[in-house]
Structure 1
Amino acid sequence: MLKGVLIDWGGVLTTGLSDAIAEWVVAERLDADHYRTVMRDLIMQAYGGSANGENAIHALERGEISGFDFERSLAARLVTTDGVPPVAEGLLTRMFAGFRRVEPMYAMLREARAAGLRTCLLSNSWGNEYPRQDWEDFFDEVVISGEIGMRKPEPRIFEHALGKIGLAGQECVFIDDIEANITAARELGIVGVHHRDPELTIAELETLFGVSLR
């Protein structure tokens, strides 16, 4: 019987990362093609199962390097349409400024808790600040990668989150927008839901749990 929800933040409880990044690229006047090349290599290595070892994203998400150090490293690799690097300080804050809260997903969590389900935020952080002002209304537990030295898709972070809410993998559903994270969760027996659209995700969760979440 399913009793818990593990859920990502960026791109699931917020609007999509690609939209936020597109806003930021325009505002920052970045060379968009160059940005995509740089980030494609970093992201593929971080989440694509590359055999080439670790990169700065792994360290950032585990909190092994500061957001400021990552900003300086990334800014040095990017270029604006004026042919100069963007300002490093505050780069990550500006990058994620386009995230918007997705209210139907938060309403789903409120209904899930009202139905007796345990809920846990499970998010990889990029040194960013989270809007935590009302999280006690939605989450029984919060697991942020940079605060505990683990990151998705490492199995240990899922095991840590399960321990926090006191449930087995087979009793939980995990919602994320990154396929590699879903795959890792499923290998631990957790039911994976690949988030693409709030309405589709909520409908799938209602089917899985057998309760209304709207």
Structure 2
Amino acid sequence: MTAPVDAVVFDYGGVLTGPVRDSIAAWIEADGIEPDSFSRTLKAWLSRNAEDGTPIHRLETGELTVAEFDVLLAAELETVDGSAVDLVGVLARLFAGMRPDPVMFELAGELRGLGVRVALLSNSWANTYPRERIDALFDPVVISGEVGLRKPLAPIYRLTLDRLGVPADRVLFVDDAEPNVLGAHAVGMRALRHTDADTTRAALAGLIPGLPRRAVSVTPRG
């Protein structure tokens, strides 16, 4: 992966935000959720071996509302003390600790300043996005629940490429989930698994002339 790229497509949760796992861990502790019950449900609904049409798949493509999904998820969860899971606002509480990462937004802005197209491709769990901020920076913005498609299936990548108007082999996709990285590879895109801002920046610096390996300035976190 050494040839320059013309466009970089970013995932949202876990790439342009802090780690999703941190928000989930805080929710599990605050709500007293038995961790194994959530892990078991996530595996059944989202693993590579999960059958098509699980509640998570239908949530991501907009076929389920948040309220409908909250009820289904709560029914699968157990609490440490045996009490009932609050059906209202399960997803809102799960994502309550997820915040935009200013360092990654700054990186996307630097890329755009260097003439590189930057786009967003995200699987939505009906969570909210800072739309004014992302719409001003990313073009196109492709969100699964709005287009009825989901990663890691090929059609959503092809839709993103069509909207970009850039050949697949000139586009780098950045995602924190391995299945989504593999899905991008399957349609001819180049792809990078995100672990942290510094590592992603260093990888991009090797592909994009003029991008420093270290941030020139860092927006204070807050």
- 1:21 to partner: Cα distance: 0.4
Asked if 1:21 corresponds to 2:24, the answer is yes
The corresponding residue for 2:115 is 116
- RMSD over equivalenced CA pairs, Å: 1.4
**Letter of the 1:199 counterpart:** D
Partner residue in 1 for 2:53: 54
CA contact (8 A) 2:45 2:57 kept: no
**Residues 46-195 of structure 1 mapped to structure 2, 5 A cutoff:** 48=48, 50=49, 52-195=51-194
Shift of 1:57: 1.0
SS, match of residue 209 in structure 1: coil
Deviation at 1:51, TM superposition (A): 6.5
In 2, Cα distance between equivalents of 1:39 and 1:187: 24
1:38 aligns with 2:41: yes
* Contact 2:60 2:144 survives alignment (8 Å): yes
Question: Any unmatched runs of 5+ in structure 1?
Answer: none
Counterpart residue identity of residue 9, structure 1: Y
Deviation at 1:34, TM superposition (A): 2.1
Identical residues among aligned pairs (%): 37
Letter in 2 for 1:31: E
| Cα distance between partner residues in 1 of 2:50 and 2:103 | 39
Distance 1:188 1:211 in 2: 28
Hey, what does 2:218 align to over in structure 1? none
Cα 1:84/1:143, change in 2 over 3 Å: same
Aligned residues: 210
Q: Find the aligned partners of 2:108 and 2:199 in 1 and give their Cα distance.
A: 15
Aligned residues of 1:77 and 1:85 also touching (Cα < 8 A)? no
User: What is the alpha-carbon distance in structure 2 between the residues aligned to residue 81 and residue 61 of structure 1?
Assistant: 28
Contact 2:172 2:189 in 1 (8 A): yes
> Where in structure 2 are there 5+ consecutive unaligned residues?
216-222
Q: Is the contact between residue 37 and residue 76 of structure 2 (CA under 8 Å) also seen in structure 1?
A: no
- Structure 2 residue identity aligned to 1:75: A
SS of residue paired to 1:121: strand
